[in-house]
């Protein structure tokens, strides 16, 4: 984390964070968690309510007439706290996002940029301030809650508790015990047509406002997130689109000792060292692969740390949620050092025909925050029959009995790390102009699966890896790691880590004549500059990684072939964008803008993520390149100097779209608000 970001985050939290009024031990917190997770409705005390409205951020719940019953209170310190309610009757909700991009997103699903929907039922969970407003206009009702209505309460509570992608109970507990900012509100509503909607405002999240709609089709049902945005994103400049970073820890270092057995099961211990950015803090979240089981967690003193995860409904698998909610034994404060030791095990690879197929990417160990950078010390114990390689610098390598023991160090700080294991042969390629390139490839693997493998595929892959590195060294700046390590995984995609690349198996079978394999390989290499080198602050900025890597691959293809083939590839991408999501001319829904990030892909716009973030993101760079060309000499120094400065300025940091806009304006010499407004923040299509 940069010094500038560190202190801006710290200042924000110190000013706004209210802090816990009472101190708790982990047993008290775990008891409160269970009470919130299994709330009991007070069916003996039901109230009539009418003409009441709950106003919140861009949202209003209007209770015209009906009954309301509250969940039995829990004890927060010395206060008896009512935290939720059930409403049945006639009502409606109003929702209108404060920014155009989110109103457009709402329109894709509802054909309206604001909602005014009738409801007949709602389950609410809230901060005490909202309860105080609700109890003012209530009168005791003679009609009690029926068994049928209790079943509906459980159904709506299930939607909140199981069908969303976060630890609902954990978030509610955090907001009740340590409130700050606007009051917490979470509710699930339905109507006579059985349409279900959810709204949430959670001050702990970077994007505090969330809205969902229930999606169902044969074989699939879930709460689909429609809107997600920051309360600070209030105007069309999108300067505050990323909201405010509220992470309370800065992880400095991971020390991981892991063993991988012959069945692809990992057993590991990870010591995590972090600085506390704000306080007091007692409830924190980490993330890990669902196939990994957390056995136990210990704190600095060796005491057990209580934690919670959600069970996932995965057939024949005992998988759990990515999110892990930790209940620390006591509060930690600003500038404290927190050490946590995680013990965990689980599947990280499938085994078939004696071969490992690694499916774990970067989330095989417990990680904190979004794109948080840290250093790593890694030790792996694996079967000596298999080749093992990892991110980082190899510190030691030895064989003890049947076990290969390797130790690795990852410096400077990295967002994530990974490894590869298999019956690979290591091929080393050297060139005086670039760092050594290691290729991990098994011809026998492809022969065993009957794959049609081209001749000397290790050489074909290495050729693109090395040549693209040369091109990018010239275009953007020097490759920052002492070697490049590339290995095969049983997947169709690729993934890049510091000095380390996973490439899907199809690109190891042959090199196609249309250029797709060359572009694919170069794209992953380009991530060493864009994504690994220059990070991105939030998903709104992810095109700075994927769009940049895609265009970099095209630049390599242009250098490798000729302008005609390069322009044909651009034309192909442009046609794909137009044919799949024609702006205002398609019978389907319009695509979201680049700044929508992963949320461009949904049930209404399936497949749009790669189309918009990769292809259209690349076109933004191409349009800027054309704007910067000296038409008299066809000199492109302006564009290349811009890319070099962007890389040198933000290497090892997280950049934003606004950072890139300001730099582009420096080289173009004019304001580019109009350009980014059209092509990044709205869904116009590339024209030049």
Tokens of 396: 């030691």
Where does the pLDDT of residue 11 fall: very low under 50, low under 70, confident under 90, or very high at 90 and above?
very low
Nearest to 51 by CA among 78, 77, 89, 81: 89
Task: Name the nearest CA neighbour of 267 among 466, 97, 403.
Answer: 403
Q: Identify whether 3 is part of a domain.
A: no
Q: 146-166, pLDDT tens digit by residue?
A: 999 999 999 999 888 876 567
Is residue 103 domain-shared with residue 82, that is, in the same domain? yes
Average pLDDT of the chain to the nearest whole number: 90
CA 159 to chain centre: 22
Question: Residue 388's domain is classified under what CATH number?
Answer: 2.60.40.1730
Which whole number is the average pLDDT over 605-625? Answer: 90
DSSP code, position 498: T
Query: Of residues 564 and 352, which shows the higher confidence score?
Result: 564
pLDDT digits (tens, 9 = 90+) for 222-235: 889 999 999 999 88
Residues 512 and 547 both lie in one domain: no
Pairing of strands 265-276, 249-260: antiparallel
Total domains in the chain come to 4
Measured distance CA(124)–CA(66) in Å, rounded: 15
pLDDT category at 354 given cuts 50, 70, 90 is low
Q: How far is CA 601 from CA 332, 604, 610, in A?
A: 39, 8, 9
pTM of the complete model: 0.92
* pLDDT for residue 71 is more than 90: yes
pLDDT at 679: 92
Higher pLDDT, 97 or 445: 97
Q: Higher pLDDT residue, 439 or 10?
A: 439
Question: Would residue 666 count as lying in a domain?
Answer: yes
Do 443 and 419 belong together in one domain? no
Whether residues 471 and 549 share a domain: the answer is no
pLDDT above 90 for 333: yes
Identify the residue with better confidence: 131 or 446: 131
User: Of 528, 561, 591, which marks where a domain is finished?
Assistant: 528
Of the pLDDT bands very low, low, confident and very high (cuts 50, 70, 90), residue 236 is confident
Shared domain check, 487 and 462: yes
SS3 226: strand
pLDDT digits (tens, 9 = 90+) for 420-470: 998 889 999 999 999 999 999 987 777 655 556 678 899 999 999 999 999
Same domain, yes or no: 475 and 620: no
- Evaluate the omega torsion of the peptide bond into residue 453 and state whether it is cis, within 30 degrees of 0: no
Residue 23 covered by a domain? no
Which residue range is the domain that position 443 belongs to?
Answer: 431-528
> In the Cβ-directed half-sphere of 553, how many Cα atoms lie within 13 Å?
29
138 compared with 93, residue with greater pLDDT: 93
- What is the Cα–Cα distance from 245 to 226, expressed in whole angstroms? 22
pLDDT the model gives residue 626: 94
Task: Tell me if 325 is assigned to some domain.
Answer: yes
pLDDT at 580: 60
Residues 6+ apart with CB under 8 A from 595: 101, 238, 241, 540, 543, 657, 680, 681
**Are 486 and 614 members of one domain?**
no
Same domain, 286 and 334: yes
pLDDT band at 505 (very low <50, low <70, confident <90, very high): confident
- Lowest mean pLDDT across 246-260, 350-364, 422-436, 587-601: 350-364
The verdict on 51 and 118 lying in the same domain is yes
| Helix-strand-coil split of the chain, %, nearest 5 | 30, 35, 35
The CATH number given to whatever domain includes residue 473 is: 1.10.390.10
Smallest CA-to-CA distance from 578 within 563, 568, 588 is with 588
Nearest to 312 by CA among 303, 326, 322: 322
Q: Do 559 and 650 belong to one domain?
A: yes
Cβ-contact 91, 66 below 8 angstroms? yes
User: Rounded CA gap, 533 and 527, in Å?
Assistant: 7
On whether residue 501 sits in a domain, the answer given is: yes
Q: Is 211 among the domain residues? A: yes
User: Is 486 a residue whose pLDDT tops 60?
Assistant: yes
Q: Does 663 map to a domain?
A: yes
Same domain, 174 and 293: no
Please state whether the peptide bond connecting residue 248 to the residue before it is cis, i.e. omega within 30 degrees of 0.
no
User: Where among 201, 229, 257 does a domain terminate?
Assistant: 229
CB neighbour list of residue 92: distance below 8 Å, 6 or more residues apart: 62, 64, 116, 117, 118, 119
pLDDT, position 271: 98
330 and 302 together in one domain: yes
């Amino acid at each position: 984390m940069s010094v500038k970001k560190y202190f801006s985050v710290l200042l924000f939290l110190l000013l706004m964070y209210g802090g816990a009024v009472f101190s708790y031990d982990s047993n008290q917190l775990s008891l409160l968690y269970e009470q919130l997770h299994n709330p009991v409705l007070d069916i003996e005390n039901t109230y009539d309510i009418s003409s009441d409205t709950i106003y919140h951020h861009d949202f209003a719940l209007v209770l015209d007439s009906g009954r309301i019953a509250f969940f039995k209170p829990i004890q927060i310190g010395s206060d008896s706290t009512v935290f939720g309610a059930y409403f049945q009757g006639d009502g409606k909700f109003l929702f209108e996002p404060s920014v155009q991009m989110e109103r457009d997103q709402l329109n894709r699903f509802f054909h309206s940029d604001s909602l005014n929907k009738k409801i007949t039922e709602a389950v609410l969970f809230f901060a005490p301030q909202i309860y105080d407003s609700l109890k003012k206009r209530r009168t005791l009702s003679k009609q009690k809650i029926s068994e049928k209505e209790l079943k509906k309460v459980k159904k709506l509570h299930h939607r909140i508790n199981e069908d969303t992608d976060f630890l609902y109970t954990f978030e509610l507990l955090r907001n009740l015990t340590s409130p700050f900012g606007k009051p917490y509100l979470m509710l699930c509503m339905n109507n006579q047509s059985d349409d279900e909607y959810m709204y949430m405002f959670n001050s702990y999240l970077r994007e505090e406002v969330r809205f969902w709609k229930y999606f169902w089709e044969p074989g699939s049902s879930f709460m689909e997130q429609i809107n997600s945005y920051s309360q600070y994103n209030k105007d069309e400049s999108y300067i505050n689109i990323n909201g405010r970073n509220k992470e309370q820890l800065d992880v400095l270092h991971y020390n991981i000792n892991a063993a991988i057995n012959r069945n692809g099961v990992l057993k590991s211990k990870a010591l995590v060292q972090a600085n506390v950015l704000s306080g007091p803090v007692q409830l924190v979240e980490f993330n890990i692969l669902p196939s990994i089981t957390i056995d136990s967690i210990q704190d600095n003193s060796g005491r057990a740390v209580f934690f919670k995860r959600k069970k996932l409904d995965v057939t024949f698998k005992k998988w759990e949620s990515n999110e892990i909610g930790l209940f620390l034994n006591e509060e930690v404060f600003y500038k404290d050092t927190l050490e946590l030791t995680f013990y965990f095990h689980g599947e990280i690879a499938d085994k078939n025909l004696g071969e490992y197929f690694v499916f774990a990417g970067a989330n095989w160990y417990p990680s904190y925050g979004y794109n948080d950078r840290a250093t790593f010390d890694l030790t792996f114990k694996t079967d000596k029959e298999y080749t093992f390689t990892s991110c980082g610098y190899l510190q030691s390598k030895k064989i003890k009995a049947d076990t290969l023991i390797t130790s690795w160090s990852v410096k400077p700080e990295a967002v994530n790390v990974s490894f590869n294991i298999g019956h690979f042969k290591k091929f080393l390629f050297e060139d005086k102009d670039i760092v050594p390139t290691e290729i991990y490839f098994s011809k026998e693997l492809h022969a065993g699966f009957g794959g049609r493998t081209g001749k000397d595929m290790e050489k074909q892959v290495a050729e693109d890896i090395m040549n693209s590195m040369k091109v990018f060294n010239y275009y953007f700046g020097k490759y920052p790691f002492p070697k490049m390590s590339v290995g095969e995984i049983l997947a169709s995609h690729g993934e890049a880590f510091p000095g380390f690349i996973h490439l899907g198996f199809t690109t190891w079978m042959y090199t196609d004549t249309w250029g797709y394999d060359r572009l694919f390989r170069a794209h992953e290499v380009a991530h060493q500059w864009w994504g690994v080198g220059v990070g991105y602050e939030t998903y709104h900025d992810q095109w700075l990684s994927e769009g940049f890597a895609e265009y970099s691959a095209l630049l390599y293809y242009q250098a490798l072939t000729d302008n005609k083939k390069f322009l044909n590839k651009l034309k192909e991408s442009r046609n794909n964008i137009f044919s799949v999501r024609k702006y205002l001319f398609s019978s389907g829904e319009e695509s979201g803008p680049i700044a929508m990030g992963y949320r461009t892909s949904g049930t209404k716009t399936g497949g749009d993520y790669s189309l918009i973030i990769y292809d259209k993101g690349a076109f933004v760079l191409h349009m800027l390149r054309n704007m910067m060309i000296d038409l008299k000499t066809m000199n492109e120094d302006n564009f290349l100097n811009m890319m070099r400065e962007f890389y040198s300025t933000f290497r090892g940091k997280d950049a934003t779209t606004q950072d890139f806009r300001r730099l582009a304006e420096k080289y173009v010499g004019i304001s580019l608000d109009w350009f980014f407004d059209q092509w990044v923040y709205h869904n116009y299509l590339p024209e030049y």
